[in-house]
Structure 1
């Protein structure tokens, strides 16, 4: 049994089960967790079951509560897909099969750690300081679990309120179905397990995973890096043939994806480009007004964006601060506009609200409400020149007004890339994104006071977000100033916080909504009529009744003359 009578825990039991992932994934997870525990200074005892599973036992000098143990094990489960947290999720019946026990499939649990070392580890046990180091290393996963718990509580409270209202009104409450996107292909890439009724062999399953990554515009280097990191299940599907087969199958996946894209979009414009502001799957533009032959050149567009960045940081940011809380969203919306300008190399943008919503991590209804406000307060920088119809989005012209030209020329261009909301800040919030941008693009390492002055955020709110990012090892404080921790990758951190999955779910939802809207248009829009179908000059379409009265006929002719 893992829990004492009072519910406390003195040994963490990490159960790596082959029923949750393949044996190769289990072995890789065991190595990954071992490295993590060794880095935190925690000693552990390891054994192996006849089925190929692994157990890691982490004894503690000071007992912790069952809730703390469950939180730590679930956080470790975010790192290792084969980890089964259920032994620590049941205070009454949570148990583990210890070394030497008889296994249900035959054989015994075999101790991997030498017996003398295991006896010393279980006798001396691990100090509380090592557990603190483990919590610090698992800060992103612990934060994600806390956010999931709060969202679950909010949904439960909303369901309870709706049930009480329905009961009070005498109506029968319906059962609301929650749509989820569990991404079975991503699960197969993590665990190596797949639906055998859909894929007959490992070869078909890994080709489906590669097609998925190719559709998300990954590169083969990113796939290799994922196989060495979170997607060890894909490596298990290859076995020892990864180096030989991966380039060949990746080429097939890219060719198949390109063929599918050309079939879905036969009339795609040659100049249309894809917005790619993040390292995850990009979103396509919705289409708008056709491009003209007098489009500005790419160097002039880059110069225009640089000048607009100067105006943004020097003038427009201060104006948008007066808009209150909405001003923060407007500041990132104008940043996304400039980012799309530089990516698409044009100052005429036909980007839809859903594309902006993916870039900002917000709902498309919110974007539709923010765009007219931004157009009104941008002082002529953003102007709508055409209203969207059918498949086309609203078209906006981005230009540098005359009153800002001198200010843009006097200021020095800033180094660095302008971003909208990067995926990791979908979880951390817009205030954290502003603070991180202030540190990242500052001429020198700023203090908290400098950041409060530059961002317009209150010092209290800024301190809380800075402490949260420091706990996630995104930034660090050095001699009273803040610096970026270059070794912490924002993409990997977004994966650990669940922001990447949230973005993919939003992209999938919007793709389905666009497909439904296009299908509705195809069913209901009238075909285009040419001029001769509207009027034929050789056909007399007008008929006048005969006039029997000669006097009336003469009067009509007189009036006509």
Structure 2
């Protein structure tokens, strides 16, 4: 039994099971857990089972409560796909098979740690300071676990008790295959078919080969396990990715040709740059980048201070203008014609919020953002971003800032708008700022800034050096993955696809409608013309 009579825990028991993930993924997980425990100063005992699973036992000097142990093991499970947290999720019946026990498939649990060393570890147990270091290392996962628990509780409160509450942010099946390496053998006859399905999925989502290559050692080790060996992966990945891209493009073309009015499998409308007419000249790439730099100067010097007075709405407006400038630099155009749903995904907000903020920002920007065309059919509103004449001299006198401007980077979907602006103040400041300087620069309340700084310091995003804040070398993208932002991002995209498909299907209902002559003629309209008499013409002359 894992828990005592009072529910407390004297040993943390980690059960890595091959039923949860592919054996190759399990081996990667156990290696990662070893590194994590060793880096926290913890000692552990390890065994393995005939089925290929692994058990890790972490003896504790001070007993942990059931809730603390459960939180810690569930946080570890977020980093290891093969880790089964169920022994610590059941206080009354949670148990684990110890070394030397008979395995249900035959054989015994075999101790990996030398017996004398295992005896010493169980006798001289780990202190609370080492557990505190482990909790600090797992801070992103602990935060993510609390947010997931809060979402489940909120969903359960909204759902009648007779109906099971939906699981928020449910993982897509092919993403689960890429993460664990386990697939439905009734649907895919071999690992080759399963990994091609995963690659087709990633290609349809707009991924690149480099992105897939990076995630093979990141959040999707199961896809790498489906290749069997690194040699097979290196030999086959390029060829299979080319096939996946060809399949995705051919599928898109075929869907576009065979789409019928009223169907709900309508494609996403990828808005394209507006074609200029009337002899207009498209600005060069260098001119666009210089314009964005000048607009950043005006943003920091003037516009930010004006928007600070708008409170919470001002935070969203400041990040929205940053997102538009980032889009402008990336696409090298001063014409923005992306839809509210696309901006909502980039901002981590609801599209209704974006639709409400855009007109407000256009009015408050003092000529920087101007609406030039209304949305029509599947096309979005079109906005022009320019530097007004009364700001040109001021923009030239100010020096450009280092670094890139961002709207909401993925990690700040979890940390909030205030944290995004605070991090930007530290990252793009001309020198490392103090807390008081951040308050003056951002215009955010000191309480909100103190909380944001504490959260980011706990996640090792920033550090304090002689009273001044500096950024660290932590990878924000990996941190966002650990915080579970990817699940929210995919859920947001899936919701947009469904809503956009329904809207496009509604619009396509009218494509096949043929207008007859009778539809144009109004029987009640007087169309004959009565000519004026000669007297009226003479008077008019």
The alignment's TM-score, normalised by the length of structure 1, stands at 0.87
The alpha-carbon distance between structure 1 residues 297 and 115, as it changes in their structure 2 partners (threshold 3 A), is same
The SS at the match of 1:491 is helix
* Unpaired runs of at least 5, structure 2: 258-267
Q: 1:43 aligns to what?
A: 43
Q: 2:68 aligns to what?
A: 68
Q: 2:468 aligns to what?
A: 481
The SS at the match of 2:134 is helix
1:353-401 per-position Cα deviation (integer Å, ceiling 9, x unaligned): 1011011100000111111111111111111111101101111111111
Question: 1:528 offset after TM fit, Å?
Answer: 8.6
**Distance in 1, Cα, partners of 2:216 & 2:239:** 16
Question: 1:145 offset after TM fit, Å?
Answer: 0.8
Match of 1:238 among 227, 230, 235: 227
The SS at the match of 2:14 is strand
Question: 1:512 offset after TM fit, Å?
Answer: 2.1
1:56-96 per-position Cα deviation (integer Å, ceiling 9, x unaligned): 00111111101010000000001100100000001111110
Match of 1:460 among 438, 444, 447: 447
Match of 1:439 among 423, 426, 431: 426
Question: 1:527 offset after TM fit, Å?
Answer: 5.8
Match of 2:405 among 418, 421, 430: 418
1:216-258 per-position Cα deviation (integer Å, ceiling 9, x unaligned): 3333333233222332211221112222222221222222223
Q: Counterparts of 1:307-318 in structure 2 under 5 Å?
A: 307-318=294-305
**Distance in 2, Cα, partners of 1:499 & 1:433:** 15
Query: What is the RMSD of the two structures over their aligned residues, measured on CA atoms?
Result: 2.8
Q: 2:483 aligns to what?
A: 497
The SS at the match of 2:61 is strand
Match of 2:291 among 296, 304, 308: 304
**Distance in 1, Cα, partners of 2:452 & 2:269:** 33
The alpha-carbon distance between structure 1 residues 449 and 530, as it changes in their structure 2 partners (threshold 3 A), is farther
Match of 2:250 among 243, 248, 259: 259
Q: 2:132 aligns to what?
A: 132
Question: 1:156 offset after TM fit, Å?
Answer: 3.5
Match of 2:174 among 178, 185, 188: 185
1:181-218 per-position Cα deviation (integer Å, ceiling 9, x unaligned): 42111111111111222212110000111122223333
Question: 1:543 offset after TM fit, Å?
Answer: 9.9
Question: 1:402 offset after TM fit, Å?
Answer: 1.6
Question: 1:469 offset after TM fit, Å?
Answer: 0.5
Match of 1:291 among 266, 273, 276: 276
Matched-pair contact (CA < 8 Å) for 1:288–1:392: no
The alpha-carbon distance between structure 1 residues 521 and 496, as it changes in their structure 2 partners (threshold 3 A), is same
1:287-323 per-position Cα deviation (integer Å, ceiling 9, x unaligned): 5743345222222111111111100000000000011
Matched-pair contact (CA < 8 Å) for 1:439–1:484: yes
Are positions 1:219 and 2:214 aligned together?
A: no
The alpha-carbon distance between structure 1 residues 299 and 254, as it changes in their structure 2 partners (threshold 3 A), is same
Which has the larger displacement, 372-381 or 250-259? 250-259
The SS at the match of 2:216 is helix
The alpha-carbon distance between structure 1 residues 130 and 430, as it changes in their structure 2 partners (threshold 3 A), is same
**Distance in 2, Cα, partners of 1:555 & 1:505:** 69
The alpha-carbon distance between structure 1 residues 52 and 303, as it changes in their structure 2 partners (threshold 3 A), is same
The alpha-carbon distance between structure 1 residues 225 and 399, as it changes in their structure 2 partners (threshold 3 A), is closer
Matched-pair contact (CA < 8 Å) for 2:44–2:59: yes
1:8-40 per-position Cα deviation (integer Å, ceiling 9, x unaligned): 101000000111112121122111111111111
**Distance in 2, Cα, partners of 1:357 & 1:124:** 53
